[in-house]
Structure 1
Amino acid sequence: MLVFPQGVSAKQEPTDSLRSLIETTIGKRKGELNLELANLLLAENPDSSIYYGSKARAIGKEENDHVLIIRSYSVTGEAYQRQNKLKEAIASYLKGLELAEKYKEKSLAGTIYNGIGVCYFYLNDVKKAEQYMKRAARAKKDANDYQYYALIAINLAGLQIMNQSFDESVLTLKEAEKTLLKKKQDQYLATVYNSLGAAYQSVKPDSCVYYYELSLKYSTKHKDYLTKMNAYQNLGDYYFDRKEYSRAIDYMKLAIATNEKRPEDSYKPSLYQRISALYDSIGDFKHAYSYKKLETEARQRVFSVEKQKQIEELEIKYQSEKKEKEIQQNKQELERKNNQQNILVFCAVSLFLVAGFITYLIFQRKRIERQFEKEKLRLFENIFHEIRTPLTLIDGPIQVMKLDTAYPEELVLMERNSKKLINLVNELLDASKLGKGSYQLDYTNGNLIEFIENVIETFSGEAKIKAIQINYQPNELEAHYSFPSNALEKILSNLIGNAVKYCPAKSVISVSSEIKGNKLQLKVADDGPGIPKKDQKKVFRRFFRGKHTSDLTGTGIGLSLVKELIELTGGMIELQSSGVGTEFRMEIPVGKKQNEEVSHSLSTLAKNEDLPVLLLVEDDADMAAFSMSVLKEEFNIIHAKNGSEGLDLIRENLPDIVLSDVMMPEKDGIELLHDIRSDELTNHLPFVLFSAKASLESRLEGLQHGADAYVSKPFSPEELKLTILNLFSTVQRNKEAYNASILSEKTFEERVRSRNSYVNKVIECIVRHMDDSDYSVNELSNDMAVSRSQLHRKLSALTGFSTTNFIRMIRLEKAKDLLLNGDGNITEIAYKCGFSSQSYFTKSFTEHFGKSPSQIL
C-alpha cells in the first residue's frame, strides 16, 4: 500500500518562546536547530516549519553549508506538500535537487526525488510520479541507504499496481530483493516479500503464498511485528477469497495475536472486522457477533485515544498561553492581541478539520467515479471486441464470394456496410483508448504527400457515387517527415468522410497541406451546407449531433475523436463555417525524417548512421582519444568516463559492442561486465576488456566473468581493431544464420525459433496476440518491460530485424504455414494473423515471399 504524507495546517507564526529557545540553546549549531524545529513542526504547523526551514537555509548560505541548504529545501517542500500547495512544493524540491546533484549528495537527492514523485501522484500525473520514484530508489541504492531504498521500492511497486502494471511492479520488487540479498540487508526483506505477495495476488495467486511465507520468516527473525501482522492478514484475505474459511480464520487469529504485541493502534478494528466476516460466511454467528463487538470497542478506544490526544494538546497550549499571560500581565494590549491570535488559531484548526473531512469525502467520491468510469470503459471495450468477431465472420465470407466473377450486385452493398460497421467499432475502440489515456501515437518516417494522397484515395469510390470532386494541393518543399501516422490517418478519414457524407452531389472538397517550421498545417474545406453558428462550439463534444444531421446515420463521435487525437499530438484545430461551406484548419507537430530509433550520448565521434555503435569506457582522456582515432572509421563511438556512466549509456543506447578499461573510478570494468551479463536486456552485447593488467590471472578473471576478448595494454592498434571487427562479424553471422533458418522448409516453430531466449520470449508474446491487429511495437515493448528504442536495438542486434519488421515477419511466416496446411481461405488467415486488411496482407505476403497467397494455395 502507498503511504504518502498529507495534511493542511493553519498559519501560525513562531512564538516568542520558540525564538528564545533557538537563541539560548547551548551546544547546537543554530542552523541544525532551526532545521530540527522545522522537522518537528511539519505535522502540526507547516507554516512554522517553512519559517524555520528558511532560517536554516539563510544560515547555511552564510556558513557555505550545502548539505544544510539542501535539507532545508527538502523540509520546505514537504511542508508545502502537507498544505496541498503542490506547485510550491515541487519548486522547493527542485531547488534542493539542483544542489544535491551538483554536490553528488545521492541520499539527499533520493529523498527529494521521492518527494517530487509524491507531489505528481497527488496531481494525478502517475507517469511522472513513477519516473521520479524510480530515480529515488536508484539514488538511495547508490547511496547504500537500504532502509529507505526498500521503502521507496515498495511505494513504487504499489504505484505500479495501482496503474495495473503488475509485471513492472514485480520487476521493481525483484530488483529490491536482489539488491538487499546481495548487500546482506535482510532486515528490510520482510516488507519487500509482503509487497511481492500483494503484487502476485492479482495476477498469479498461487505464487503470493510463497512470498507471504517468506515475509513471515524474515519479520519473525527481526521482530518486525507490523509486517508480520500484515503478512498473516494477507494470507487470511487470500484464503478468504478462495473460500477456504478455516485456514483464513487461523491466519486472522495469528494476525490478531501478533498485533497484541504492538501498542494500541488502528489495525485492530480492521482485523476484528475481517474475522467477524469470516465467521459470518460459515454461519458461525456467535463468533461473528463476538468479534463484531470487539471491533466496535476497538474503534471506540481508538477514537477516544485520538480525542484524548487532541485534549492533551489543547491543554498544553492552554497552559502555555496561561503562563505567558502571567509573565506579561502588565502588557494588556499585547495580551489582547495574543487572545485574538488564539481565537484565530482555534478557528483555523476547526476549519482545517472541517476542510480535511470535506476533502476526504471529495477524494472518495472522485475515486469511486473514476472506478465506475474505468469499469464502464472496460465493459464497452469487451462489447466492441465481441462485435468484431461476428463482423469478421460476415466480411470474410463476402470476400470469398467476391472471388466468383458472377457474384450478385447486392454483395457490394453488403461489403460496404460491413466495412462501415468495422470502421465504426474501431472508432469506438479508439475513443475508449483515448478516454482512459492508453492510446499510443505511432510515429512513421516517410513521404507525407503520398500518405495524405493514399488516405484521400480511399474515399474515391464513395465520392464518385455522388459526383463529388476531391482536390489535394500539397505545398511541401520536402516530402519526407516523421509524423504520427495512426492519428493522422484517423483525423483525415473523419474530416474527409464527413465532408463526403454531408455534402450534396457535385460538390467540391479541397484538401491542402503545408509545412511551416516543425508544424504540418492541414486544411479540409467543402462547399456543403455548413454548420450553424449555435452548433459550432458543440461539434467537438462526444456524441453530439446537430439537427442538420438528423436524417443521416452516425454516432457523433468522429469530430470528438479528431480533436482528442490532435491534442494528443500537441497540435490544434479550428472550425470556420458561415452558412455555406465548412473549413477545418489544423496544426500537427512533425519532424524531419530521421532514424527510427534515435539515441543521444555524451559524445559521438563518427556521424555515419550506417555504422554500428561502439561504447568506449575509458577514464584516461588521452587513451580514449587514441582509441577513438583507431576505431572511428568502422564505428560510431560513444564515450563514457567510468563504469557507472557507461552502464547508464548502455541502458539508454544499447550499443552494438562495448570496449572497456578494467581499472576505473566508481565502477570498474569487471563490475560493469557483471552488471551487463546479469541483465536480460544487455546480456547479448559483445564485450572487450583492455587493460594494463596483462597477467594470465587478470586475463582469466575477465574471461571468467563473461568477456568475449581481452586485449592487453599497450596494444597494437591493428590487433584491437581486428579483435573488435571479428567479434562484430560473429554477431553478423548469427543474424545471417537466423535469417537462413527462416528461409528453410521447416515448420513455423522450427523456422522462427532462435538460440537466444530473449528472442523466443518476444516471439511468444507476438504469437499470443497473433489475431490482434492492434498489437504493435508499443504493446510488445510494454510486455517485454523495455522502451521502444531498447527493444529495437536488442532485436536488431540479435536478428537483424527492426521491431516492426520482426512482428510482421512472424505474422507472415505463420500465415504461410496456415495457407500450406489449408487452415482457411486467404481472408480468414489474414485476420487470424493480425492483418485488418486483405489487400495489405496480400501486398506484404508477396513482398516477403516473392509469391502471392493465392500462388501458395
Structure 2
Amino acid sequence: MKYLYLLLFFLSVSSVHSQSKTDSLQQEYAKAREDTIKIKILHQLFSEYSGNSSNMAQEAILEAMLLSEKTDVNRLKVTTYNHYADYLRSQSLEDSALAMSKNGFSLAKKINYREGVSEALIGLGASYWRKGNFEKASEYLEENIELAKQLKDSSRLAKTYNGLASIYTQKIEYSKAMQYFTLASTLHKATGNLREYSKSLGNIGFVQRSIGNYENAKNYLNASDQIAEQTNFLQQRAFSAYNLSIVYRKMGELDSAILLNKRAISIYSELGNKKRVGFGEFTMGKIYWEKKDFGQALNYYKKSLEISRQVDDSVNIGHSYEEIAKCYRQLKNNNEAKRYSLEAIKVAEGIKLKVLAMNAHEILTAVFAEEGNYEKAYESLNQYTLLRESIYTKEKVDLASEIEAKYQNEQKTQEIELLESEKELQNLQLSKRENERNAIVAFAIILLLLGSLLYNQYRLKKKTNNELRELDKIKSNFFANISHEFRTPLTLIKGPIEQLEQNPDEGLPKESIKMVRRNTNRVLQLVNQLLDLSKIDQGKLQLEQSEGEVYKCLRGAASSFNSHAAQRKIDYRVQIPHEAYWASFDRDKLEKILYNLLGNAFKFCDDGAIISIVATAEQDGLRITISDTGPGISEEKLPFIFDRFYQVQQESTREHEGSGIGLSLSKELVELMDGTITASSEVGKGTIFTVVIPIQKIKTGIQTPEKVLVPDNKEVQKTRPYSFETPDSRNLPVVLLVEDNPDMSHFIKEQLQKLYRIHEAKNGKIGLEMARSKSPNLIVTDVMMPEMDGVELCKRLKSNLETSHIPIVMLTAKAGIQNKIEGLETGADDYLTKPFESQELLARVKNLIEQRKRLRERYSKKQSLIDPKEITVNSLDQNFLEQLLDVLEKSFSDPDFGTHQMQEALAMSKTQLHRKTKALTNETPGELLRNFRLKRAAQLLAKKADTVTQIAYAVGFNNLSYFAKCFKELYGVTPSSY
C-alpha cells in the first residue's frame, strides 16, 4: 500500500515537473546563441512534446533540421534525422520516415557514431514493421540488441524489445511477444522512464486482449492509461482507450465500447495520426457488426479502407477488405463479397499475413458454395484448413498465459542486469531527476531483495516437501516389495501344509519338504535383515568378535552358492587362499556381508555369466572383491545403491527386484567393523564390489595348509541326477503354467496335474509362444516375471484373434485393489492373490474350463439361430463369430462354397481357422458349414417352405442321399419325417 501511495505521488509530481521542464527549456532556447546548443535544446523539446502535441513536436524538429544543415556537427545531424523519422512515423508517413531513418543510419555509420546507429536501427525496424515487412524489421532490431548491450544503453535496448514484441504480436506469436514486452517493461520501470513503462503496460494489455484474457487486459490497459494521464501522454491515452473499446466489444458491452473508441479517434485526430484514426474507424465497424447493423458497419469499414490507403497501411488495408467482404455477405451481395475477398488475399500474400488469407478463404468458401461452384469452394476450404492449422496452435496461447503469470507473480524477483544509466542530459533539472530515479531504483531493489528472500524461503519449503514425498514414496515401494518377498515363500510354505492337513495319511514328498525348508529360511533371512537394520538405527547392534580362521569362514560361505551356480551354468570362480589366516573377527556379520553381495550378484546375472570372489590379506586388512558380468549399473544410479530401500530398477517384472535392504545392510555392517565398501560398474559389462575390513592377523605356530576340496562346478553338473519327463498323452484339458519361480511352478503343477495336462513356461515371452503353438484350454500366469510380465502377456493374448478365447488366471503377490483392477482390465478372466488356497485355484480353473465347454455345447444345439454374444466372453471373439456367421449366411446356398472359400473370406490360414472354430464351437470349419446348412434346412422344412429336394438344393447340397444321411445323423430322423 505504501508503494502505491508513493507511485501516485511520484506521478503527480512528474506531470507538474514535465510542464515546468518544457517552460524551462523554452527559456533556455530563447537565451541560447550557438546553433549547437539550440539544436540540443530542440531535441529535448521534441522528446517532451512527442505523444502530446503534434504541432509543437513538428515545429521543434523542423527547426532542428534547419539548424542542423547549417552546422558541421554530424552527430547532431544524425540525432535530428532519427527524431524527424520518429515524428514522420507518428503521422503514418512511412515512406518518408524510412528514408529519413536510412539517412541517419548512413551518416552514423560513416562517422562511427554507435549511439546514432543504434537509434537508426530502431527506427528502421519500426518503419519496416509498419509497412508489413516483418522479416526486414526483425533483422534490424536483432542487430541492435547486441549493439545496445555493448553500449550498455538500457533505454534503446528496451525500445528494441518493444519493437520485436510488436512484430511477434502482428505475426500472432504471442509467447515471444510477451517475453519481449516483459523485458522492455522491466527495464523502463527500473530506469524511471514512466512514459515508456506506460507503453509497455499497454502493449501487455494488448497481448492479453489478443489471447482472450479480457479481465487481465482491462487491468493492464487501465494501469497504462492512469500513468499516461498523470504524465500527460496523450498518444498512450488514445492507445489505451482504443484497446479498451475492443475489450468491451469482446465482452459484449457495446455502448461502452463505442464511447471509448470515439475518445480514441478524437485524440488521434488531435495528434494528426491518420493511421490510428483509420484503426478507430475499423473498430467502430466491428462494434456495429456486433450490433447487427451491417450497413453502418460497412460505412465505417470503407472509411477505414480510405484512410489506410492514404497512409499506405498494408495490414489495415487487407483487414478492411476482409471485413467489407463479410458485410457484403450479410447484405446478400456475393459479387462484391467475392471481389473484396480476392483483394484481401492479394494483400495477405504480399505481406505474408497468414491469418488474413485464412479468413478471406473462409469467406470465399461460403460464396462459391452458394453459387454452386463446388470446385472453387473446395479449393478455398483446403487453403483455409492449411492456414488455420499453421496459425492456431494451443501451445502459443498456453505459453503466453504461462509467461504472463510468471510476469505477474515473479516480476520483482527477475535478476536482470541493469545497464549503466543514460548519458547525462544537459539541462537545469538533471540533479532532481537523478534523485527521483535513484529513489525508485532503491525502492525496487528493496522489493527485489524482499521478494528474493520470500522466494528462497518458498524454494526451501518446496524442496523439503519434495524430499519428504520422495522418502514416503521410497518407503511405500519398500513395503510393497518386502510384502512381495514374503508372499511368495509364504505361499510355498502354506500350500504343502494345507495339502498335509487335507491328506494326513499321505504325508509330504521329500521335494516338498525341501521346498518348505528353503522358503522358511528365506523368510527368516528377511526378518533377520529387518531386525539388524532396526538394531543399527537404535545403536544396539554390537560386534561379537572371536578368534577364528578367516579364509575358512569365507570358503564356507562361498561354497553355499556352488550348487546354484551349477544349476544355472554360471562360471563361479572362488579365489580364496588355502593357507591359515587366524584373526579376531565377527563371523556372523562377515558371513552376512558375503551372502548379501554374492546373492545380489547371482540375482542380477543371467544364466551362463561369470561371477568371481577374490580374498587377500593386505596391509590395510582383509580385502574381498566380488565381481560379475551382469547388466551393470548406470553412472547416475551408482551413488544411491547403498541407500536404504533404494532399488536400481523399479520394473513391473521380477528380473531385477528385491527388498532394497541387502546392500544397505552390508554397508552398515562393514562400517560397524570400521571397514569400507565401494562399487564400480559399467552398463552391459558388470559390477565390482570391494570390501576392506581392518582385521589384525594373529601369529600362531607352524601350520600346514588346509586341504580343502573345492567342488568343481562341471563335475557337480555331471553327477547331478537327471529326470526324464515322459510325454503326457492323457485325454485331459491342457493348462499352460507361466511362472518364473521354480518352487511355485512345481507346487502349482502338483495341484493341477491330476486333472489336467500341464505345460510350463518360465516367463511371459516363452509363454506367449507356447500359447500359440499348444492351444491350451486355460493359462495360469504370474504377474511379475522377467522379459515379459503377466500383464503384458495377457494384453498380447487377448488382443490376438488366435488366442483371445483362452481364459487366463493371474497370480500375484501384490494385494492392492488397484493391482487387481489393472489385471482384470487387461482381459484376465480371474485373479488370485498370494498366498492362495490350492482348492480355490483348482475350483477357479475348473469353473473357467467348464464355462468354455458349456458355451461350445450351447452352440452345438440344434436350434437354427445362435447369438454370438451368448457363446463368447470378449468382444474380439464376438466380432470374429459375427463375421463368420455373416459369411456363412451369405454363401451357404452356394454348393461350391467350402472351407477354402471360408479361409479367404476371413483372411485366415487353415490352421488358424481350425483352432478358432474348434475352440469357440467345438466344430471344425467343415463341420460348422455342414451343420449350418442342415440347421437352415430344418428351419425351412419346419415352415414347409418347399419340397425336401428343393430345400436340399437351396441350402447347398447337390447329393440328396448325402443330405439325408447328414440330416438324420444330426436330428435322428429323415428330412421327410422331420
Q: TM-score, normalised by structure 2?
A: 0.25
Give 1 or 2 for the bigger CA radius of gyration: 2
Q: TM-score, normalised by structure 1?
A: 0.28
